[in-house]
Amino acid sequence: MPTPARVVVLPKEFAPMRVEEVELPDPSGHQVVVKEFASGICHSQLHTIHNPRAHDICLGHEATGEVLAVGELVTHVKSGDRVLLTFQPRNLRETDRMPWKAGLDLAEGGRLQSSQIFTWSTHTILDDQYVIPLAPDAPVDVTAIVGCAVLTGAGAVLRAAAVQPGQSVAIWGVGGVGLNAVAAARMSGANPIIAVDMDDEKLELATRFGATHVVNATHQDPTEVIRSLTPGPAGAFGYGGSPIAGVDFAFDVVARPATFLQAFRSTRNSRNAVHGGGTTVVVGVPQAPFELPAIELLMNERHVQGTLGGTAVPEEDIPRFVAWYQNGDLDLDALVTSRVGIDEINEACKMLDEGKVLGRSIIEF
């Protein structure tokens, strides 16, 4: 039987979001119907809200829930299982099948479209590639942000960069995603771990997650501060006699032209034929082209890397991150700083847009 649901609708016209009652069809094939407990509100959704669109959209891409029904080809979860939902396919090493892209027919006609899944809803239907079993004893509220905030931030450090003990790290933007990058850098044994932001409260929270140094970019030049904190061996020099300094990895979670340039220039310059330069990892979603100083890229032998969702493997990484939380290594309770109901979604997004959310907001159903 169809499953009644309430879903947030982002109209194709620039207008406030509304909550509509819909019916989810019975799942078939690789589809799964899930009753949700909570969903994260990711900053990247603001890009969708602010940009032009050709159709109505359903949003959200991280959540927890309980499986209500599965299609005949679903084998890794069953009705009654608690699960975690993510926008990253759980494991593409074992299949070339393109996951089904979720969408919904509206009662008055028309169709809601999503990027891959939608979780700003009391119930959802999605491909089983986006469904990960959740430990029965794990809380179902704060773990809702593991599917994007934790996966992207921690995954960028562990998977994309593969940070090793003793390597130096700087992170631009310590909100919901950046704080998880800080935590993963701590778990990896990085040192120093330098947090960069324009909000002192966020920087203070970053120290709780493992930052060894903080830089308020409103008052200081992050590149200068970071290079002063990360000098190379005495007497070592780079191209043209420039002193060696900078971090091994700079993670740009903000992904604006200015932050990218700061992060890029904060990475270590090379010593020719002795060691290469540092790496800038673009974690956030860019909304404008970046200026890349090509001569600095060449002469300093620096690297630039992008990562989508932390280059994570959800089937392997999500259980690890949930275990971090349960062991006390990842403080999701401190990371979730705002809780709202589904009917407060416009107000919640406005708070996020205005920078009033310290960590991560969740919708509780």
Q: Where in the chain are the domains? A: 3-147+312-364, 162-306
Residue 61 φ/ψ, nearest 5 degrees: -150, 20
Question: What CA–CA distances, in Å, run from 276 to 121, 206, 230?
Answer: 48, 29, 15
What average pLDDT does the chain have? 95
Percent of the chain with pLDDT over 70: 100
- Write down the pLDDT at residue 271: 87
For residue 192, whether the previous peptide bond is cis, meaning omega lies within 30 degrees of 0, is yes
Q: What is the pLDDT of residues 44-63, one digit of tens each?
A: 999 999 999 989 999 999 99
- Write down the pLDDT at residue 237: 84
Q: What is the pLDDT of residues 149-183, one digit of tens each?
A: 999 999 999 999 999 999 999 999 999 999 999 99
pLDDT reading at 273 higher than 70: no
pLDDT reading at 234 higher than 90: no
CB atoms within 10 A of CB 179: 33
Q: How confident is the model at residue 186 (pLDDT cuts 50, 70, 90)?
A: very high
CB 66 within 8 A of CB 82: yes
Residues recorded for the chain: 365
Q: What is the pLDDT of residues 17-32, one digit of tens each?
A: 999 999 999 999 999 9
Q: What is the pLDDT of residues 87-120, one digit of tens each?
A: 999 989 888 999 999 988 887 778 889 989 999 9
Q: Give the single-character DSSP code of 164.
A: -
Containing 329, the helix (H) or strand (E) segment is none
One-letter identity of residue 359? G
- Write down the pLDDT at residue 105: 85
List the Cα angle 208/212/215 in 5-degree steps.
95
CB 324 within 8 A of CB 187: yes
pLDDT reading at 289 higher than 80: yes
3-state secondary structure of 31: strand
Q: What is the pLDDT of residues 113-155, one digit of tens each?
A: 998 999 999 999 999 999 999 999 999 999 999 999 999 999 9
Q: In this predicted model, which residue has the larger pLDDT, 1 or 245?
A: 245
User: Which one of 3.40.50.300, 3.30.930.10, 2.40.10.10, 3.90.180.10 gives the CATH number of domain 3-147+312-364?
Assistant: 3.90.180.10
Least confident of 42-46, 216-220, 346-350: 42-46
Contacts of 81 (CB under 8 A, 6+ apart): 66, 67, 133, 134
Bridge pairing between strands 103-105 and 111-113:
antiparallel
Percent of the chain with pLDDT over 90: 89
- Write down the pLDDT at residue 270: 94
The alpha carbon of residue 314 and the mean position of all alpha carbons in its chain are separated, in whole angstroms, by 12
Burial of 347 (0-12, 13-18, 19+ CB in 10 A): exposed
Which numeric CATH code is attached to 162-306?
Answer: 3.40.50.720
